[in-house]
Every structure is written in C-alpha cells, then in structure tokens.
Structure 1
Amino acid sequence: MAEAGARLDPVQRAALQWQVCFWSGEAGEAERRDFEAWLAADEAHRLAWERLQRAGGRLQALPGGVAGAVLRATSAGNGRRRTLRALLLLAGAGGSAALLRETPAWQLARADERTATGERRELVLPDGGRLMLNTATAIDLRYDATERRVRLLAGEVLISTAADAARRPFVVETPAGRVQALGTRFALRCLDAATRVQVFEGAVELRPRDGGAPRRLDAGGQLSFDASAVGAPEVLDETASAWTRGLLVAERLRLADFVAELGRYRRGVLRCDPAVAELRVSGVFPLADTDAVLRSLVRALPVRVTRATRWWLTVEPARGRA
C-alpha cells in the first residue's frame, strides 16, 4: 500500500477496489470471474493484491466485517461511490480528518469498542452489566446522569443488564431504531437493512427509527425490525447464543445459509455455489477453526472447497457430482 501522502498507482487502486467489492458482501459469480481474470493478467496484479492482504494499509485496521457493514449501510449508487472514494482517499493520501469525520467508516474506526473478524470479547459495563461482542462488531458507550446508552454500529452483541441505583433507562441504538431493556438478557444483530432482536430473559421495548408505536418483546421471542416497520414475532431459536461459547450450531440448515454464517468468522470471501445451496447441514462446529469446519463439510457432503486466492474460497459440487 502507498505511504501517507502518496498517490495510488492504477494497479494499487484496482486492488483496493476489488477489496472494497469483496467487503461489500455483494460480489457474485461474475465479479469472481472478473477478479480471477484480473489477477491472472499480470504478475503486478497478484503482488499488489497480496500486499493488500498482508494488512499493510490503513484500511486493514478496520475489522473486515465492519468495512462490509459500512458499504451495506450506505445507500446504493452515488452514496456507495462516495464511500468508496473516501476509503480510497484514506488509503492513498493518508486521510483527511475533516472528510473522514463525516463518513460512517470514521465512526466505526473510532468506536469505543470493536472486535476484528473472528474475534469475540466480553465487557463489564460501568453499571456492572455485561456485554459480549461477536465477530466484526463495533459499539459506542454513553453513560450519563439520565441514560445508559449503547450504540451498535455494526455486528452483534449479547447484553445482560444490571440494576441501576439511579433508575436510568438502558437503551441500545441501532441503525434501525431504539431498543430499551426492561430488566433483561437479550441479543441484537445488525442485518443488511434491519436489526434482529432476541430476548432470553425479561423483555425489551423497541421503536423503529422513523416512528411508529413501541412494540414489546418478551423472553422466548425474536423478531426483526427496520427503520419503519416491525416484523412478526417468532419463537426464539434455542441455539441463538451458541456463538458466545465459540460454537456454530446447525440443524438441517441450508448449506448456503451455513456458509454465509461461517463466512462472518473468517477474513476474505467465502461463497456457496448455487448448485449445492440446498444441501442440508447439521452439527456443532467450532468457530475458532473455520478451516476445520470446511474440511468437515467436504467429508460429510458431496462438495469440495476451491480457492481462487488465499482470501477467496468457494464451496461447490465435488467433481462428477451435482
């Protein structure tokens, strides 16, 4: 990567654009083919890509999943292009504080607490409560005389609230709206355009960002809501908190969904070929060793794992099998 103040040459810029494409979570088969062709076209392309992956640039200071969340949270079209330009400026010109403070990327990079891809960490909150951060998660904490506030910028958290002598409300703010704890243990996850809420103990009251009546969700329930609407409640998935123990639990889960979930815990791109997307996966898998999980898939299912690069893997049909 270029040093601060230097200009990116065309090859470095192309490598960075590919990285942002993969971080966005929107790269598909056509992008993979184009990337492979670009990588094979010139040795300089491969070297530039490998330098980028060695985390030598400023962008790699951000958790991989956080960077993707920035792009997914940015509106399509001009908004995403503005974000890309800001990221390129950060990597190639050392960054302008005045510009970066206006971008979601800056807010995520400056978060009070964050985890890298594959990392999980528990915090003790100022009031004695506990908060567990899942992979690629970023939060801000704001405790004052009137309110206890957690701002979930990206990722997933499990919160166990504590009683507060000052009786201050405990509120979590997400891109979709506000969730207030009513003496509880609950989890929140930022999805592409919504927030998923799961309540293990007590209850929460949630309110979409753009208005609407508050909705109560009691223990044993889960739902998703976006900025304008609240989805129907469902029965809580009993395995929903397995990630806090470093486990991924699947019960006849579609392979495409399993691969997408596993991909949250490893850097780079992990794809599932549509030809095997409907195969089913069951078992308990260790999140600390995603390579071992992929090997177990190959042993159990008619699939293989191919590598376009060290950072791009695809689960696809085994040779001679659909």
Structure 2
Amino acid sequence: MLPDKLIVSGDVSALHVSVREAIEWELMLRDGDVSPEQRAQFESWRLADPSHEAAWAVLQARLARFSALKNASGTAVRRAVDEPSHARRRLLKVGTGVAAGVLAGVGARELIKVFALDADIHNSNVAAKSVALDDGVRLTLGASTRVYLPRKQTQRDIVLASGQIATAAYPGASGFVEIGTRDGVIQTRNARLSVDALHMHTVVAVQGGGAILKSRKGELVRATNGTVWSLSMQRIEQMPETSADVFAWVSGTLIVLDRAVPDVVETLGRYFKGYIYFPSAATNRRVSGVFPLDDVEASLRQLAEGLGLTLNFYGKALAVAS
C-alpha cells in the first residue's frame, strides 16, 4: 500500500492501464451481485502493484465529489461508457465545458470527466507539444495536459481539464479567446496567456495585452500586461512572479517565487510520470527557485534539499522525500 500523502501525477497516459482497470472494477462492484471470489480477485488486484492502489484511491477520492454516482448502476455506467466518443463529448460539454447531466447514465459521464478520457486534445509526453486549431490559433501544451474545444459562433472556447497551456494572440479582430478551468474563466482579445490548472487554484500569466479573469463566485479582475494571477473559486489574487517567469515553462524551465510546495510538486509530477511523496510538514511550506523540466529527477532533488529533506527514487514509479 502507498502512503496516504501521495501527490499523484495527473497524466492519464502513464496510468492508462491502471486507471482503466480501476474503472472496470468500479463498474463491476457497483452492480452489487459480486461473488466472494470476485471480491478476492479485486483485493488481489489492488495489492498486486502500487499503481493499482494509487489509481483506485485517486478514483474514489474524486468520485466522492459526484453525488449523482451514488445511485447509478454499473449497467447504466457501462452503457454510457460504451457510447461513441463524440456522443460522450457532446454530453460532457455544457456551457464552459463543465459536465452535468440528468439521465440515468450521468454517473458514467462524470466518471469519464474525472480523468478527461475523451479530451479533444491531449499531451501525454514530457516535452511541450504545439498544436494549431482550425482557425489558426496556436496552443502549446505542457506535459499531462488535456483540453476540450467546444465552439461558439463568435469566439473560441478552450476548456482546460488538466495541465498547462500557452496561447498565441487571437488573429481575428472580431473574436476572442475564452479559457475555462474548474476555478473560473479567462478572456482576452490580444494577449498571450499561460494557464495552469493546479489542484488548489489556476495560475494565469498575461503577456502582450490585457485579459479579464472571472471566478466561479463572480469576482472579476482586469489583468494587465506582464502580471500573474491566482484564480480560485473563492478569490482572485496577484502573484509575485512576472509573466516572463511563468512563460519560461514553454522553454523547459519552471520559475516560482514564494510558491506553495504542493504547486511545485504537482507541476514536477506531470514530468516525472510517477508518484511523489513529501511529508505534510513540507507541503505546508513555500519555496522560490528555478527548476529544469527536462531533468525532473534533479529538480525534485533540488526541491527536497531546499526543504532540508532527502529524496529517494524507487525506479521510475515512486519518489519519497523524508
């Protein structure tokens, strides 16, 4: 069994097999008619590999937020999972892309959304990936990034489900870019944006123009050129980094100033592709530093040493600081 305080990479590709197997077990157990032999097989599966237990724990923690799953049967879940991917995407994208549903199969659609398994664009590699959208907008995707692309007639909607993206300025004078995350919405007509969907908040850097940030609670801030912001459901606050600091990730460098340790560990975890453990005393601290993303093991060691800790690696699957 893995320790409780694991910070897990959000990459679906690296966990693809374990995640899919965890979902299959969830579907089977949900049906209720489970034999003692099947339950024993399930427990054996959980113990067979650390990635199994970690995938199961993450799945259960995230599904706990979705009350609609409580009464959804495994049959309904499986039927929705078996729908064509384009149909699932259509059901998932409501408004700014937040999944919602009222049918019996809502549980499955929420289940798919948890891991963004049907994202329109994704980057499962550790190297940044550049993509061109059909209207000429270019996106740079960081590691473990998944994006939905619902469309409106007058604007480009981008829904960042996980990871980090950088945009180029929108080329059309009559339209604008709108990026939605769990925490809120960012809009611009002429600025480049770096948007990082972290567990605790969304970090937004604005470069070459202005942008409007809106929280889910309705707070609105006009962000000026060169500024960096923390966007959460509760509030919007300016951060000490400059936009040049934050945009450095596109060139392979993570620069942070007075940043919470979980932010740094989560970001580096996307490039490590495994499981990272830091003790709770360390996760309550803040750090500043420059971390290369093309040598994530060295960066994790640098982070641990700066906190007065020793970091041990167990293959490519686990890093433990103590």
| Range into which the TM-score falls when normalised by the shorter chain | 0.5 to 0.7
Structure 2 residues not aligned, in runs of 5+: 1-17, 30-37, 84-104
The 2-side partners of 1:290 and 1:144 are apart by 39
What SS is found at the alignment partner of 1:240?
helix
Give the counterpart letter for 1:291 in structure 2.
E
Question: Shift of residue 287 of structure 1?
Answer: 1.8
Q: CA deviation at 1:80?
A: 10
Write the mapping of 1:1-322 to structure 2, written as runs, cut at 5 A: 9-10=38-39, 13-14=42-43, 45=47, 48-49=48-49, 52=52, 76=65, 79=67, 95-97=81-83, 98=105, 101-106=108-113, 108-116=116-124, 118-164=126-172, 167-192=174-199, 194-212=201-219, 214-227=220-233, 229-237=234-242, 238-249=244-255, 258-274=264-280, 284-294=290-300, 303-307=309-313, 311-316=317-322
Q: Distance in 1 between matches of 2:166 and 2:232?
A: 19
Residue-pair matches, total:
267
AA in 1 matched with 2:49: W
Q: 1:308 to 1:249 in 2, by over 3 A?
A: same
Alpha-carbon shift at residue 256 of structure 1 (Å): 6.4
CA-CA distance at 1:296 after TM superposition:
5.7
Structure 2 Cα separation of the partners of residues 234 and 94 of structure 1: 42
Determine the C-alpha separation between the residues in 1 that align with 2:51 and 2:279: 28
Contact kept in structure 2, 1:220 and 1:236, CA below 8 Å: no
RMSD after superposition: 4.4
**What are the superposed Cα offsets for residues 273-304 of structure 1, whole Å, 9 maximum, x if unpaired?**
35666899776443233234345668888643
8 Å CA contact retained: 1:73, 1:193: no
What TM-score, normalized to structure 1? 0.64
Name the counterpart of 2:6.
Answer: none
Amino acid at match of 1:171: E
Q: Per the alignment, do residues 219 and 82 of structure 1 end up closer, same or farther by CA in structure 2, a change over 3 Å counting?
A: farther
Distance in 2 (CA, whole Å) between partners of 1:246 and 1:273 is 27
Question: Following the alignment from structure 1 to structure 2, what is the Cα–Cα distance between the partners of residues 207 and 298?
Answer: 35
How far the C-alpha of 1:164 sits from its partner, in A, is 0.8
Residues 1:151 and 1:254: Cα distance change in structure 2 (over 3 Å): closer
Given that 1:15 and 1:52 are in contact with CA atoms closer than 8 Å, whether structure 2 keeps it comes out as: no
TM-score norm. by structure 2 comes to: 0.64
The C-alpha deviation readout for 1:104-156, integer Å capped at 9, x for no partner, is 52471111001226353111222322211122221112344322111112222
Q: Is the 8 A contact 1:255 1:272 kept in 2?
A: no
**What secondary structure sits across from 2:218 in the alignment?**
coil
